[in-house]
Amino acid sequence: MKKFPENFWWGAATSGPQSEGRFHKKHANVFDYHYEIDPSAFYDQVGPDTASNFYNDYKNDLQLMKEVGMNSLRTSIQWSRLIDDLEKNTVDQNAVDFYNHVIDAMLEIGLTPVMNLHHFDLPVELYQKYGGWESKKVVELYVGFAEKCFELFGDRVKYWTTHNEPMVVVEGQYLFQFHYPNLVDGKKAVQVAYNLNLASAKAIAKFKAMDLKDAQIGTVLNLTPTYAASESPEDQEAARIAELWNNKMFLEPAIFGHFPSELEELLTRDGVLWETSDEEKAIFKQNTIDFLGVNYYHPNRVKAPDVAPDSVGAWMPDRYYDAYDMPGRRVNLDRGWEIYPQALYDIAINIKENYGNIPWYVSENGMGVSNEERFMNADGMIEDDYRIEFVKEHLTWLHKGIEAGSNCFGYHMWTPIDCWSWLNAYKNRYGFISNNIHTQIKTIKKSGRWFKQVAEQNGWEA
């Protein structure tokens, strides 16, 4: 038997904006707004309005999650739903009732709730008025929202996370133009990265001051481990900087309470360092995470840049490294991401050796596949053997990492029920449970049945 540690979390993750639908939501987040002004930016012009109808269907959905063996679920509380007046941080009572019902329903059926506070879904008004995460005013407003969440739900929710993949906000909105407002501005990107880290530390400060019983707080990072194309000093240097920028910029403040000095030196030399203060440095120092969530999809392979990093032009972090397309790599062509399960072992060992072996869990992993109806059998079940293989391979490497002493306490799949994706909408499906978006009929896939057995046995017969 491949056995996992006792009380291992077997579960899955989704987010409010990708599952609930906009029903009765007072404010638009940046994605709601982007869809309003430019539906053609979204696959098949499908927006987040209905998503997977979790707002109306949560009881049935949670029951299905239980049926695939999940003992825990991460979702998020939408800032744009919970808060009524964004400046005064008053709450919308309908939203409070909704999240109370969801949390109570989860506890009733034995699904441990993990609640995230920000999953790319900034209320658009705060972008329009203050420039969103560019502004420390927005950091304060977010902290007020977080505090409300702890007050309202902290008696029952014992696991909180401050952000999901803050790096995606930096890259999508400020560097590589894949999320609204699609800016290209390296200097702003640096400040946004800092402010997101600061928001997390300040929310943690509020959380700690409240002294909630048995509750823990963490953050969710997309760790894309960096692999250099070769042993050459140039490729190794490219990998060092890519690792600093993509991973350490968030990992180190979260775990150690300060930014990596090598990164600060590089940004200072390039004249783009963030605005900081001694007071803020003290906040980082005192407010580190209790546990880490790691989203892992694909590795980051890099090589020395073709163009010299000191070339003339606006500052961008990727002037220091180029993407390396490794010949012979395995790829999920529907999403374009490399499949490299061994990275989960490397992550496990990295956390053990370089990050104080902090308790951590895989907070997302998964494979988005298009047109899964082609695998539907006569009973209407999708036979997604490729997903079973994918999960099994990843769990095998994770297991090796745990056996080597890494302090991993769970594995969450992205996602329980096929849900809406940012620009890809419903193109690629990730769930253990399929969703017909026209009828909202949800059906367990073969992978869901397989996962139930694994969860029940806390492993599988090797």
Q: Are 321 and 239 in contact (CB under 8 A)?
A: yes
Among the listed residues 207, 93, 80, the one whose alpha carbon sits nearest the alpha carbon of residue 141:
80
Calpha distance 62→73 (Å, rounded): 9
Site for ligand BGP in 169-188 (CB under 6 A): none
Query: Closer to ligand BGP at the Cβ: 17 or 260?
Result: 17
Calpha distance 34→18 (Å, rounded): 14
| Signed CA dihedral, 400, 404, 408, 410: sign only | positive
Query: Closer to ligand BGP at the Cβ: 222 or 246?
Result: 222
Residue of 20, 171, 280, 364 marked active site: 364
Upper half-sphere CA count for residue 83 (Cβ side, 13 Å): 26
Q: Min. distance of Cβ 424 from ligand BGP in angstroms?
A: 5
364 is catalytic: yes
Query: Closer to ligand BGP at the Cβ: 163 or 319?
Result: 163
Residue of 20, 165, 243, 252 marked active site: 165
Site for ligand BGP in 277-336 (CB under 6 A): 295, 335
Site size with ligand BGP, rule: CB under 6 A: 15
Q: Min. distance of Cβ 365 from ligand BGP in angstroms?
A: 10
Site for ligand BGP in 366-395 (CB under 6 A): 368
> Should residue 361 be labelled a site residue for ligand BGP when binding is judged by CB under 6 A?
no
Which listed residue (72, 332, 406, 428) binds ligand BGP by CB under 6 A?
A: 428
CA distances from 365 to 51, 294, 296, 406 (A): 20, 9, 5, 18
Q: Min. distance of Cβ 298 from ligand BGP in angstroms?
A: 10
Q: Min. distance of Cβ 40 from ligand BGP in angstroms?
A: 18
Q: Min. distance of Cβ 386 from ligand BGP in angstroms?
A: 16
Q: Min. distance of Cβ 379 from ligand BGP in angstroms?
A: 28
Which listed residue (134, 364, 372, 418) binds ligand BGP by CB under 6 A?
A: 364
Which residue has the CB atom at the shortest distance from ligand BGP?
421
> Should residue 165 be labelled a site residue for ligand BGP when binding is judged by CB under 6 A?
yes
Which listed residue (2, 8, 15, 229) binds ligand BGP by CB under 6 A?
A: 15
Q: Min. distance of Cβ 276 from ligand BGP in angstroms?
A: 27
Which listed residue (422, 426, 450, 451) binds ligand BGP by CB under 6 A?
A: 422
- Burial class (CB within 10 angstroms; exposed 0-12, middle 13-18, buried 19+) of 373: exposed
Which listed residue (414, 426, 432, 450) binds ligand BGP by CB under 6 A?
A: 414
Which listed residue (71, 236, 342, 424) binds ligand BGP by CB under 6 A?
A: 424
Which listed residue (112, 161, 164, 191) binds ligand BGP by CB under 6 A?
A: 164
Q: Min. distance of Cβ 310 from ligand BGP in angstroms?
A: 32
> Should residue 116 be labelled a site residue for ligand BGP when binding is judged by CB under 6 A?
no
**Angle, helices 343-354/385-403, rounded to nearest 10 degrees:** 30
Query: Closer to ligand BGP at the Cβ: 298 or 303?
Result: 298
Scanning 49-57, 211-219, 240-248, 421-429 for contacts with ligand BGP by CB under 6 A, the matching segment is: 421-429
Calpha distance 128→100 (Å, rounded): 30
Query: Closer to ligand BGP at the Cβ: 226 or 287?
Result: 226
Query: Closer to ligand BGP at the Cβ: 15 or 447?
Result: 15
Q: Are 198 and 136 in contact (CB under 8 A)?
A: yes
Q: Min. distance of Cβ 303 from ligand BGP in angstroms?
A: 24
Residues serving a catalytic function are 165, 364
Q: Would you tell me which residues interact with ligand BGP (CB under 6 A)?
A: 15, 18, 164-165, 168, 222, 295, 335, 364, 368, 414, 421-422, 424, 428
